[in-house]
Structure 1
Amino acid sequence: MSTAKVQKIINDNGVVVFSKSRCPYCSDAKGTLRSLDAEFQVLELDQMSDGSDIQTALQQLTKQRTVPNIFINKKHIGGNSDLQKLSTGQLKGLLKEAGAI
């Protein structure tokens, strides 16, 4: 998958979490977003035929290969630890800007 296709996914969704279904850090990040009743798109890369291609494209776009790889309002947030570093107020503000809450 080209970086252009991944960028389109990011551009078309207010909040995107590129995830793997058995990843505890991914579960934590999704739980944090759910706790704020945020609407978000999840792509479980380990359940997609082109998941490794998406992961490679994400690495080219963000220099981050690990998951979760989180975008809010087309802005790369980073991984779960980056998401957790945001205060609840900061995160709510970003989610509101993205139209996710």
Structure 2
Amino acid sequence: MDKVMRFTADKGVVIFSKSSCCLCYTVSVLFQELGVNPLVYEIDQDPDCREIERALARMGCKAPVPAVFIGGKLVGSTNEIMTLHLSGSLTQLLRPYM
């Protein structure tokens, strides 16, 4: 959990991802198209991958990846991000990081 908190504490937008996950890629592309350059952390490249997945689950992320943090706060996974995007609320959250 400490590793997750360290990565998200001082970064604007962080996406915990896996390199083989198509939903992770989709969310990353969405953010880039909205003008945000998120820090994408590929957890499958980290030896503590399982620990990170458990930490994300304990924090409330329903799916281990993608896990999106904006301004240090967990926003959610694909469903939450797409819901916010379709309602127009995602842009509001991202405005400080554009």
The alignment's TM-score, normalised by the length of structure 2, stands at 0.86
The corresponding residue for 2:57 is: 59
Question: Which structure 2 segments of 5+ residues have no match?
Answer: none
Moved over 6 A (4+): none
The corresponding residue for 1:42 is: 40
Distance 1:13 1:54, change over 3 A: same
Question: Which structure 1 segments of 5+ residues have no match?
Answer: none
- Percent of residue pairs identical: 33
The corresponding residue for 1:84 is: 82
Q: How does 1:90-101 map to 2 (within 5 A)?
A: 90-97=89-96, 100-101=97-98
Aligned residues: CA RMSD: 1.6
The residue matched to 1:86 in structure 2 has which SS? helix
Q: Please tell me whether residue 75 in structure 1 is matched to residue 88 in structure 2.
A: no
Aligned length: 97
Q: Which moved more, 1:77-86 or 1:55-64?
A: 55-64
The alignment's TM-score, normalised by the length of structure 1, stands at 0.84
Q: How far did 1:63 drift?
A: 4.8
Residue 62 of structure 1 aligns to which amino acid in structure 2? G
Distance 1:63 1:96, change over 3 A: closer
Contact 2:61 2:77 in 1 (8 A): no
